[in-house]
Amino acid sequence: MKQDFARAASTYAAAAVLAHETGRRMAERLDYVDISPTRVADIGCANGEGIRELQRRYRAALPLAVDFALPMLRATRAAAPPLQRLLRRSPRLLNADVRALPLASDSLGLIWSNLLLHWLDDPLPALREFQRTLEVGGLLMFAMLGPDTLRELRAACREAGIAADAVPLRRFQDMHDIGDLLLTAGFADPVMDMEMITLTYAGARGVVRDQRHLGVRNALLGHLHWRDWRRVFQRYELQRQHGRLPASFEIVYGHAWKPQPPVPRRLPDGRAIIHFE
């Protein structure tokens, strides 16, 4: 997937309608959060739309854009306003794996992650890294795809006779499972909600083309023999509404805080700690 995503740097912006919309709705949620972070990070920044939003909101904060695809980081740098680059206020760029961030512990006040976590087979290592790098009282805010994503195509697969265990579309985790993972990772007060966003297309090729331009075609749609895809798309065509094909995406939003660490009760060698007041 990394190579596909890197190759999509030049086509990503025009196809990223869903990411733009989820980012806008994430930003609306920040309106109700009273924080003044000194360092903010957009992790999985793609072309940097998220970090530019954070810069507009938190002008005094040090902005950090993180992605595993170097071409996306170059696109983020190129999109920075000329005056910002001249004054050296453009985002700091970091090429890194979200599961092993080369950042100091307790160094970030806000982590923003838009449509990244669902690409990880196991999001827990990334969530633990988010928790480690956030300062106490720091906020994690994210959006990710949920299990009802592309339900129309999943139904078309079933109608085309594709066995349930052979449906190639990626499976996504339920928001309740993600909430449990946040607690396991050490976050406090997780808040989860979801909504459906439906895009419409002139035809099935438009759905495939957008995912290819985003660099996620294989990761999202998977692989079938072309004869099987033809049968699936024939069933999909029967779902037209007002002449357009719907493609629904379940969006899971979440935010959680890094709490104060618990008071230690034992030393590493096993001796008990007793506190006197």
Examine residue 221 and state whether it is found in any structural domain, yes or no. Answer: no
Examine residue 164 and state whether it is found in any structural domain, yes or no. Answer: no
Examine residue 26 and state whether it is found in any structural domain, yes or no. Answer: yes
CATH code, domain with 32: 3.40.50.150
Query: What's CA 247's distance to the chain center, in Å?
Result: 19
Burial 184-208 (b: 16+ CB within 10 A, else e): ebbbeebebebeeeebebeebeebb
What pLDDT score does 79 carry?
Answer: 85
Examine residue 32 and state whether it is found in any structural domain, yes or no. Answer: yes
What pLDDT score does 217 carry?
Answer: 94
In sequence order, the β-bridge partners of residue 243 are none
Map tokens 């793609």 to a residue: 46
- Paired tokens of 193: 């909600």
The backbone torsions φ and ψ at residue 191, rounded to the nearest 5 degrees and listed phi first, read -125, 125
What pLDDT score does 265 carry?
Answer: 65
Asked if residue 194 lies in contact with residue 175, where contact means CB atoms within 8 angstroms, the answer is: yes
165-189 confidence digits (pLDDT tens): 899 999 999 999 999 999 999 999 9
Q: What is the Cα Rg of the chain in Å?
A: 21
Q: Which residue, 231, 239, 169, is CA-closest to 203?
A: 239
What pLDDT score does 3 carry?
Answer: 87
Rounded to whole angstroms, how far apart are CA atoms 65 and 78? Answer: 13
Instruction: Determine the residue type at 117.
Output: L
What pLDDT score does 2 carry?
Answer: 79
Q: In terms of C-beta density within 10 A (0-12 exposed, 13-18 middle, 19 or more buried), how is residue 11 classed? A: middle
Q: Which domain holds residue 101?
A: 2-146+171-198+251-257
Examine residue 203 and state whether it is found in any structural domain, yes or no. Answer: no
Examine residue 159 and state whether it is found in any structural domain, yes or no. Answer: no
Examine residue 243 and state whether it is found in any structural domain, yes or no. Answer: no
pTM reported for the whole predicted model: 0.91
Examine residue 212 and state whether it is found in any structural domain, yes or no. Answer: no
What pLDDT score does 272 carry?
Answer: 67
Low-confidence ranges of the chain (pLDDT < 50): none
Strands (E) in 98-216, as ranges, are: 108-114, 134-145, 188-201
Domain count, the chain: 1
Those residues with Cβ within 8 angstroms of residue 239's Cβ, 6 or more apart along the chain or in another chain: 152, 155, 156, 245, 246
